[in-house]
Amino acid sequence: MYLQILKSNDCHLPAGSPDGTGGQFCSSGDSLYGDTGIYGGSNAITPRSKGGMWIAEKYLDVDTSTEYGQKIQLRLYQIESEAKIWGFPLEKIYIISGITYFEVNGKRYRTGGLAYTNSDTPSVRGSIEIYLDTLLDDPELSESGVIPTGARRLVAHEIIHHKFQAVLNSYEEQIEEVRSSVNPYFDFDDPQVQGFLKKNYPLIPAIRKAYVNKSSARFEKEDGITPYSRDWWGAYNSGTATTLQAFHETLAEYGALRVSNWGAIPKRSVWTELFKVVDKYSKDKKVMDRYLGTWVAP
């Protein structure tokens, strides 16, 4: 789930899996960090290690010889290792306690995580909140004896929100750069300028082909990757979600499925094409560094 700071008192509700993981898309994120940029009260947190995740102290003081303590250690390991796989900075991850619910499209959801895609507060922008209590409700082992991957799926889902937004931001910045330095009326779809763009601004033709120049109706028609993403398009059709939210949540589900069910991803789809473009250009260090900002944990 992604949370984008828009304007005061503006709150929207995204989808998730019923009584599983979900999140909220609203404008109140900055207050979660208090005046110091770090949580307080029952959610007082400390870094697990220098450059590591921020973890609520209640999870650091548990007896790891107990079943509860071992569950916590497993989930923290899964979250940290999955973030490393995607190359996401651990100091941008906040592990907090508590269980909250919200409704979307007529369904009740439990908050699993939030991705802050925009904020004026450096410690918030590009960060991820994970409600660990929600993940602790997962069974320790599935019926087949396989360790559950809920924590990994959630982290991958939230990270894709940031990767998608980073690519969109970079695209808009490059569009403005071309217009200001070349021609304010530059035609980005003119066949005669494609060579110039591919050489100097390859992201522009790639994202226009995979996203900008395709109708949202086609994306909606080829959706259905998970019940979660279908709910988002249902919310869009009922006027309770934007197309950007529906795009965000569907792409984020691709990230989650790469962890647990790669075979469910269609080999040919407008979504698969877009995901590949986002995955490729978000690996550009300049794109992600500019998006995440220069904040470094104290």
How far out from the chain centre does Cα 21 lie?
13
Size of the chain, expressed as the number of residues it contains: 298
Q: What percent of the chain has pLDDT over 70?
A: 76
Q: Which residue has the higher pLDDT, 9 or 135?
A: 135
- Residue 121 clears pLDDT 80, i.e. is over it: yes
pLDDT at 195: 97
- Tell me the per-residue pLDDT of 17-50, one tens digit each, with 9 for 90 and over: 333 344 333 323 332 333 233 344 445 566 565 6
Count CA atoms within 13 Å of residue 270 on its CB side: 20
CA distance 25 to 77: 27
The CA distance from 72 to 48, in Å, is: 13
Mean pLDDT of the chain: 79
Residue 82 confidence (pLDDT): 94
C-alpha distances (whole Å) from 205 to each of 49, 147, 199, 273 are: 41, 42, 10, 13
Burial of 24 (0-12, 13-18, 19+ CB in 10 A): buried
The whole-number pLDDT of residue 139 equals 56
Cβ–Cβ under 8 Å, residues 56 and 43? yes
Amino acid making up residue 226:
T
For 197-227, how does the pLDDT look when each residue is reduced to its tens digit (9 = 90+)?
Answer: 999 999 999 999 999 999 988 888 887 678 8
Instruction: Tell me whether residue 148 is exposed, middle or buried, using C-beta atoms within 10 angstroms of its C-beta: 0 to 12, 13 to 18, 19 or more.
Output: middle
Residue with tokens 């569009």: 175
Q: Is 108 helix (H, G, I), strand (E, B) or coil?
A: strand
SS3 243: helix
- Kind and range of the H or E run holding 246: helix 243-260
- Measured CA to CA, the distance from residue 114 to residue 25 in angstroms comes to 8
